[in-house]
Amino acid sequence: MAKEYNFREIEKKWHERWAEWQIYRVTEDASKPKFYVLNMFPYPSGAGLHVGHPLGYIASDIYARYKRQKGYNVLNPMGYDSYGLPAEQYAIQTGQHPETTTFRNIDRYREQLDKIGFSFDWSREVRTCTPDYYHWTQWAFRKMFDSFYCNSCRKACPIEELVKHFEEQGSENLDVAQSEELSFTAEEWNAWDEKKKSDVLMNYRLAFLGETMVNWCPALGTVLANDEVIDGVSERGGYPVEQKRMRQWCLRVSAYSQRLLDGLETIQWSESIKETQKNWIGRSEGTEMRFRISGTDEEFTIFTTRADTIFGVTFMVLAPESELVKKVTVEEQKEAVEEYLKQVKARTERERMIDKRVTGVFSGSYAVNPFTGEDVPIWISDYVLAGYGTGAIMAVPAHDSRDYAFARHFNLPVIPLIEGADVSKESYDAKEGIVTNSPRNREAQTAGEGLVLNGMTVKEAIAATKKYVSEHGLGRVKVNYRLRDAIFSRQRYWGEPFPVYYKQGIPTMIPEECLPLELPQVENFLPTETGEPPLGNAKIWAWDEVNRKVTDKALIDEKTVFPLELFTMPGFAGSSAYYLRYMDPGNPKALVSKEADEYWKNVDLYVGGSEHATGHLIYSRFWNKFLYDLGVSCVEEPFQKLINQGMIQGRSNFVYRIKETNTFVSLGLKEQYETTPIHVDVNIVKNDVLDIEAFKQWRPEYATAEFILEDGKYVCGWAVEKMSKSMFNVVNPDVIVENYGADTLRLYEMFLGPVEQSKPWDTNGIDGCHRFLKKFWMLFWDKEGQLQADDSKPTAENMKSLHKLIKKVSADIEEFSYNTSIPAFMVATTELSQQRCRSRRVLEQLVTLIAPFCPHIAEELWEALGHETSVCDAAWPEWDDKYLVESVVKMPVQFNGKVRFTLELPVDMPKEEIEKAALSAPDAARHLEGQQVVKTIVVPGRIINIVVKPA
RNA sequence: GCCCAGAUGGUGGAAUUGGUAGACACGAGGGACUUAAAAUCCCUUGGCCUAACAGCCGUACGGGUUCGAGUCCCGUUCCGGGCACCA
């Protein structure tokens, strides 16, 4: 009897053995180099895992196992991002408490993950919703509150330093990140009361309370961060989002804009993600210029990247929210302006996006162009954003399409400044060409005497204007970033509570010793449309408890009960530094110990979806940079290399019902009838052929269905769609594991295509991978089911097949092209099988090679080969080019000055020798001496390819 | 509108980075074994022409560089992703 590949038994056995051996537990080990592999941890959603989820986990698990075999001490942890909107929405929809559903979902996830055979060190698991974890989320927030960002030293510093500065110099000589530029003296500062000082400090803290325009989502009952809003609706649920002015906790992410940008140059991420982040940060170099309001001494500042177009300014525009609006609005225009402001306010973000009509109103005032002395009208329009630059612009309709549209609509003049630019139909926006009309005539130039741009290229003109402006005190060179501060509070229940209480209205941090501040139990955790936080429903005792804890320690001076902050933190709070916690998960004294952090440093390989490009991947980098400034994290960038696995889409199947009947027609014949396509569960379809009996039982209304078949089969149609329950195209990995085994699932997920590419799941091809594993298995057993490994010397052919495979697989794993390794395994298996390879040495190495991909079968065979330890610790084999004839370098050679050769020579011939020999060779034969010609390729013309093999 | 990535058989996808395009797998067709089915194994499978050998055409489209282009350059079309009154 041949020995059967009983994957169910094998996988069960090894799951138990791994648990018993604690094989995946890692500790810091200075004798080995470290390697940190990390997956983006999942939200434990109610639907459980589908086959798309494990894709990235499998890819990283293969890498982790490979690195371990290469001798690294590998950290490969897993945990759950269990606070936040998705978990809470699921709880609300199913009418349960989020804590109940979250923990149940986690258990379900764990069960599913365990079946796939990952090498996670579960002893390091973290859950963001447990107090011993969010202790450190609150702790970091506290630290941010107590810090400001110093621009000149390019780092976060303790707020005490800033207070000291204020006491001594007021706001003089300050170069720090701030919400708005404030100006006060030391005397003023010292005279202010606590409340006022607190308010002023909010302008500088890295975590601060800010009165800002927020994305308010009434349906979700909470505010959302910019990255959580897509096309004017919420990312979760697609509910409408409106702009609302609210007092919110914010993180001063913008302080780190430049460092976030610079850091991108030091990490190995895909170009597209880096590009996305660069766009999101949106650095733009320009000039700030001051304009005087005509007839007054008042000045205001604008920002422009096209300082060279100063002579083409025909009007100015203020954002409707700008504080200047009041100042510039004259009596006669007051009514019109107020009407316009009302109108703007009534429009939601979404309406503004869809309807891009040109709107605006004249303020009645004029600004003086500092270069020409001309008066230009000041307008108010919502095409200028309050939050970017200074909320005011100089409009140059000839060279900016938005200004152009505005000018044409309100009939304002257009003055072209580039030679040959035709602005009769549209503006000329390109930053190229020769400048003219600048200035238009000498007399017009009063204040700006000396600045002549005519004849310059646009680039030269920008530089010249910048120089002139800063030298003459008309403004300054300025870099602006589009990156906004993150809104950090949510009016929801299921999140980290803020470690904040209000002392006489002053937001105050709960002392470090009193952390964590635990989330209280509440009866009603539903969000409200008005924004009243559900934490307000907490029973008094829960809050009292916290207060007592704080007061008993005499850490606050009065025995009064102070109100606590009722907002909770957003989903990204817990996921921003979890990779540090994995290094030292149980530590009650610190987020991570110095020793653990210095050993593991940062994540070497991070695997996850690209949808987090402007969310988690920005926040985490910001958070880590802050901790780096604090000296908590010893590496500035948290994720050295990033791989974005593609999404697995669903492959839906359809049946075609003939209209108004219960008869279904097969795909090939459907054109003859009028039909309606209906989604059919992909689990009752195999290779697009419908299981008719299963279909009849699927739904009661199909029990009596009739079918028009082709070739005796019912063939279904198919389409690629999102994997979702409603499309009946969800494939559960448990089912695959049950039918084919985890090793087949792992192999097939990788075989499906490049890891980084999105692709539909199609169970059809899985048989091929399963067949391969059977063949692989049979390589080791004879007809009687006996292990057929002996100590015979491997043949040259054996070695060639093996080393070809080692080389290919090693290179593929390093490059994450697992999909091309699998064919190599198939070819090698076939070759070794044909060669009737029995050599223990060869078979053992073969097992170690497949171990990262299919650990269960590898363990079983490794044990059968007589090993008592796990294959996880078997050394990764090295290849030797001497066995590889195909491994060659190609080198074009000039032959007799006329003929070119491409010589394919073994790699082990030193490069210098080839070159020397080739260049001096009177004929090619000299290279071929003592070597056997295996293949000669003569391309019509003059090219010869020669493949040689050492004799 | 701007930026990024891509387009190869019926399908998923290979191609040592400028050197015999289509590896490997699926699907399809044919065959062996079997009472039969499953499983397993073998052969064929880009298109056209041919009895066959051979030959010609083929990597979205149009040009170019090169002895030689799926690969490099220029232009066009299409699909995907990101940003978007960001001055």
String of DSSP letters for A415-464: ---BTT---SSS----S-SBB-SSSS-GGG-STTTT---TTSBHHHHHHH
Pairing mode, strands A299-304 and A706-708: unpaired
How many Å does it take to go from CA A255 to C1' B47? 61
Nucleotide nearest to A830 (CA to C1'): B24
Q: Could you check whether the bond before residue A439 is cis, i.e. omega within 30 degrees of 0?
A: yes
Per the CB < 8 A criterion, the answer to whether A780 and A789 are in contact is yes
What's the residue count for chain A?
A: 951
Q: What DSSP designation does A161 have?
A: H
Nucleotide nearest to A480 (CA to C1'): B86
Q: What is the pLDDT of residue A552?
A: 57
Nucleotide nearest to A889 (CA to C1'): B16
Nucleotide nearest to A317 (CA to C1'): B87
How many Å does it take to go from CA A826 to C1' B36? 32
Q: Phi/psi of residue A28, each to 5°?
A: -60, 130
How many CB atoms are closer than 10 A to CB A428?
18
What confidence tens digit (pLDDT) does each residue in A387-443 have? 888 999 999 999 998 999 999 999 999 999 988 888 888 888 888 888 888 887 655
The crossing angle, in degrees rounded to 10, of helices A7-21 and A98-115 is: 110
Entry pTM: 0.90
Nucleotide nearest to A388 (CA to C1'): B86
Per the CB < 8 A criterion, the answer to whether A108 and A48 are in contact is yes
* Nearest CA among A556, A474, A606, A506 for reference residue A202: A506
Nucleotide nearest to A405 (CA to C1'): B85
Rounded Cα–Cα distance for residues A521 and A524 (Å): 9
Measure the CA angle with vertex A413, ends A411 and A414; round to 5°.
120
Residue nearest to nucleotide B83 (CA to C1'): A279
How many Å does it take to go from CA A753 to C1' B57? 30
How many Å does it take to go from CA A768 to C1' B30? 20
Rounded Cα–Cα distance for residues A677 and A665 (Å): 10
The crossing angle, in degrees rounded to 10, of helices A796-815 and A818-834 is: 170
How many Å does it take to go from CA A263 to C1' B65? 38
Rounded Cα–Cα distance for residues A253 and A619 (Å): 8
Residue listed under structure tokens 């003859």: A672
How many Å does it take to go from CA A746 to C1' B51? 49
Rounded Cα–Cα distance for residues A772 and A765 (Å): 12
The H-or-E segment that residue A842 falls in is: helix A840-850
Q: What DSSP designation does A323 have?
A: T
SS3 A581: helix
How many Å does it take to go from CA A270 to C1' B45? 38
Q: What is the pLDDT of residue A522?
A: 80
Residue nearest to nucleotide B82 (CA to C1'): A276
Sign of CA dihedral A46, A47, A50, A56: negative
How many Å does it take to go from CA A620 to C1' B72? 39
* Nearest CA among A134, A44, A52, A40 for reference residue A88: A44
DSSP letters spanning A512-536: GGG---PPPP-S-----TT---GGG
Q: For A750-768, give one letter per residue: b (16+ CB within 10 A) or e.
A: bbbebbbebbbbbbeebee
Residue nearest to nucleotide B26 (CA to C1'): A765
* Nearest CA among A163, A159, A161, A136 for reference residue A146: A159
Nucleotide nearest to A766 (CA to C1'): B26
List Cα–Cα distances, A482 to A279, A384, A468, A509, A637, in angstroms: 8, 14, 26, 30, 21
Q: What is the pLDDT of residue A178?
A: 93
How many Å does it take to go from CA A717 to C1' B30? 27
How many CB atoms are closer than 10 A to CB A539?
12
Nucleotide nearest to A231 (CA to C1'): B84
How many Å does it take to go from CA A219 to C1' B12? 42
Backbone angle region of A110, left / alpha / beta, with phi > 0 → left and psi within -120 to 50 → alpha: alpha
How many Å does it take to go from CA A937 to C1' B58? 21
Rounded Cα–Cα distance for residues A349 and A387 (Å): 14
Nucleotide nearest to A303 (CA to C1'): B87
Q: What is the pLDDT of residue A916?
A: 47
How many CB atoms are closer than 10 A to CB A495?
29
Residue nearest to nucleotide B1 (CA to C1'): A401
Residue listed under structure tokens 């690294």: A72
Residue nearest to nucleotide B27 (CA to C1'): A687
Residues of chain A falling short of pLDDT 70: 1, 348-350, 353, 441-449, 538-561, 884-951
How many Å does it take to go from CA A60 to C1' B26? 26
How many Å does it take to go from CA A279 to C1' B85? 16
Per the CB < 8 A criterion, the answer to whether A752 and A56 are in contact is no
SS3 A628: helix
Q: Phi/psi of residue A369, each to 5°?
A: -70, 115
Q: For A95-133, give one letter per residue: b (16+ CB within 10 A) or e.
A: eebbbebbbebbebbeebbebbbbbbbbebbbbbbbeeb
Rg, C-alpha atoms of chain A = 34
How many Å does it take to go from CA A765 to C1' B71? 29
Nucleotide nearest to A890 (CA to C1'): B19
Sign of CA dihedral A174, A178, A183, A186: negative
Per the CB < 8 A criterion, the answer to whether A59 and A752 are in contact is no
Nucleotide nearest to A352 (CA to C1'): B85
Q: Find the largest Cα–Cα distance for chain A.
A: 106
How many Å does it take to go from CA A765 to C1' B58? 27
Q: What is the pLDDT of residue A539?
A: 61
Pairing mode, strands A207-217 and A222-224: antiparallel
Backbone angle region of A22, left / alpha / beta, with phi > 0 → left and psi within -120 to 50 → alpha: left
* Residue A940 CB contacts under 8 Å (≥ 6 apart), including other chains: none
How many Å does it take to go from CA A792 to C1' B18? 44
Q: What is the pLDDT of residue A349?
A: 67
Residue listed under structure tokens 């002893």: A123
Nucleotides of strand B lying closer than 7 angstroms to a protein CB = 3-5, 11-17, 19-20, 23-28, 40-41, 67-68, 80-87
Q: What DSSP designation does A713 have?
A: B
Nucleotide nearest to A283 (CA to C1'): B86
How many Å does it take to go from CA A263 to C1' B4? 19
How many Å does it take to go from CA A653 to C1' B60? 28
Rounded Cα–Cα distance for residues A758 and A645 (Å): 8
Rounded Cα–Cα distance for residues A751 and A20 (Å): 31
Rounded Cα–Cα distance for residues A851 and A849 (Å): 6
Nucleotide nearest to A892 (CA to C1'): B19
* Residue A22 CB contacts under 8 Å (≥ 6 apart), including other chains: none
Nucleotide nearest to A834 (CA to C1'): B41
How many Å does it take to go from CA A943 to C1' B57? 23
The H-or-E segment that residue A146 falls in is: none
Q: What is the pLDDT of residue A723?
A: 82
Per the CB < 8 A criterion, the answer to whether A887 and A807 are in contact is yes
Measure the CA angle with vertex A728, ends A726 and A733; round to 5°.
120
Backbone angle region of A785, left / alpha / beta, with phi > 0 → left and psi within -120 to 50 → alpha: left
- A924, two tokens: 């090619």
